[in-house]
Structure 1
Amino acid sequence: MNNYKKLSFVLFLSLTLVWACNNEKKLETPEGVEYVLIDSNDGESLEEGDYAIFSLRLEDSKDSVLLNSEEVGELPILVEDSVLSTRGPLFSILKGLKIGDSIKTKLTASEVFTQGFRQPVSPDMEKTERLTIYAKAIQKFDTAGFMEWQQQKKSEAMQRMQKEAEEQKGIDDELIKDFLSENNIEAEKTESGLYYMITKGTSGEKPEAGDTVKVNYVGKLMDGTVFDTSYEDVAKEAGVYNEQREYAPIEIPIGKGRVIRGWDEGIMLLNEGSEATLYIPSGLAYGPRAAGAAIPANSTLIFDVELVEVK
């Protein structure tokens, strides 16, 4: 009896696997591009002039995810055969899908990036490397519907960015407070979240928004790594010396958005001739984007500054 049950289970499992395999269909576009239809709801076809929205997932030959629309957003395309026919095999597949269709295909990096997305292949990837692409046709719109969809996505992105910025503000504030406490530093805090400590006070002129100022500075990460300075000796000592630049006080209009917000606010707290240390949260610096290789995203920065002159 037990053997009969085992045989029944094996037969059931075999039939299930056969059904699952048969549910995927190997298809080919009119241009001869092969792909696998993983799932289909027999939805609406895409017509010339439609705006179609796709989810997309790209994996390299080592199964590492290169792109995932769940993280970077869906791919919208305008269904225009004269345009899409020039964008290679990936778009040859996408334009022929119905809403609800899910597909899988393998294409070279050059076919995906150079032809499809009109972008160069990453230098660390071979143009002939085979990538696995998963795509699904999610929705389609007319022009008015697409404009509404775009506006909704922008609103959602803005709300998400504001929430992330608020969370990061709390993280930065705790980081600065811990740093000050650990180093026995007494600093003032402004309403914006900027911390500052006057290390040399004077009775000189205070700059106003629009004034041109000359400032000496040393810029550091929270771990003390110097990433930029106006002092030649400091640059050489820190290993950031650049013989192509002049080492002298930087001259800038202040309070006009020409520098990071932490500088605009911090420099205007000083008198001509005074010196200070500014502890600038990332939201008043470069925010969620990196600033070159030296300053990672969401970096809290420290600047030792000297207000040399107010013009």
Structure 2
Amino acid sequence: MKRFGLGLLCCLALISCVSESENAEVLRERERVAFEEYITANDIVGVRVEREPALGFIFIWLEESGSDVKPQALDTIKVDYVGRLVNNLVFDTSIDSIAREVGIFDPRRNYQPFEYIHDVGSVVLGFDYAISKMDYGDRMIAFIPSIYAYGASGQGNIRPNTPLIFELDLLSKETEGEDSGD
């Protein structure tokens, strides 16, 4: 009887692992389809498109600066952004006029470019990854799978397993320890 119980437990553990893997694949495919439908429905055409099927990302450059200067770890990043869900609902933005237009304006908030230190884990992984693909001065729409956003736990009004779409405008660079010229 103990062998049967142990065997059953092992089978359940194996099924659980397979199920998790299958669920991740189903989720990735569902998000890929949602992203492609969003791109088609919103007639998004860029100057360059990069798809990463294994990870589920899609990057569409709206403008390329030609600066050929990418953010490095510890750079202070300044970026204007609009965060959307696949139903096109704006959940956050750094831009005052857009916040007002879509009805999420908060008079207590100071709308200005978002500033953070790149590559130190202070933003969701997918946001930082998208920024790492850009050159300073680029504008991009980044389609971020839920696993690289808030994952299975969600965050605030973002439900679990919710993919995100960010329109990003990478503005400027200030590196730690850089001489200000004084």
Q: TM-score range by the shorter chain?
A: 0.7 to 0.9
- Cα distance, 1:310 vs. partner? 1.9
Of 123, 131, 152, which residue of structure 2 is paired with 1:288?
152
- How far did 1:172 drift? 0.6
Task: Choose the corresponding residue for 1:256, options 115, 120, 135.
Answer: 120
Aligned equivalent of 2:29, options 170, 174, 199: 170
Kindly indicate whether residue 133 of structure 2 is the aligned counterpart of residue 269 of structure 1: yes
- For the structure 1 residues 183 and 271, does the alpha-carbon distance in structure 2 shift closer, same or farther, using more than 3 Å as the test? same
Q: Does 1:188 align with 2:47?
A: no
Amino acid at match of 1:303: F
Query: Does the CA contact (< 8 Å) of 1:207 and 1:268 recur in 2?
Result: yes
SS class of match (2:25): helix
Aligned-CA RMSD value: 2.4
Q: Is the 8 A contact 1:194 1:278 kept in 2?
A: yes
Report the CA distance between 1:167 and its aligned residue: 2.3
Structure 2 counterpart of 1:302: 165
- Residue 207 (str. 1) matches residue 66 (str. 2): no
3-state SS of 1:216 partner: strand
Quickly say closer, same or farther: Cα 1:155–1:310, change in 2 above 3 A.
farther
Q: Give 1:241-252 correspondences, 5 Å limit.
A: 241-252=105-116
Measured in 2, the distance between the counterparts of 1:298 and 1:223 equals 14
Q: Distance in 1 between matches of 2:136 and 2:92?
A: 22
Larger radius of gyration: 1
Distance in 2 separating the partners of 1:244 and 1:217: 19
- The equivalent of 2:3 in structure 1 is none
Letter in 1 for 2:100: K
Flag the structure with more relative contact order, 1 or 2, with Cα contacts below 8 A and sequence separation at least 6: 2
| Aligned match of 1:231 | 95
Cα distance, 1:175 vs structure 2: 1.4
- Give structure 2 stretches of 5+ with no counterpart: 1-8, 175-182
Instruction: Give the letter aligned to residue 189 of structure 1.
Output: R
One-letter amino acid matched to 2:141: T
Which residue does 1:108 correspond to in 2?
A: none
Instruction: Give the C-alpha shift of residue 206 in structure 1.
Output: 0.9
- Residues 259 and 203 of structure 1, relative CA distance in 2, 3 Å threshold: same
* Percent identity between the two aligned chains: 30
**Superimposed CA distance per residue, residues 222-263 of structure 1 (whole angstroms, 9 cap, x where no aligned partner):** 111111110111111111111222111111122232211211
Aligned partners of 1:178, 1:241: CA distance in 2, in Å? 28
8 Å CA contact 1:206–1:310 kept in 2: the answer is no
SS in 2 for 1:219: strand
SS in 2 for 1:305: strand
Offset of 1:170 from its aligned partner?
1.5
Three-state SS of the structure 1 residue aligned to 2:33 is helix
CA distance in 2 between counterparts of 1:169 and 1:218 reads: 23
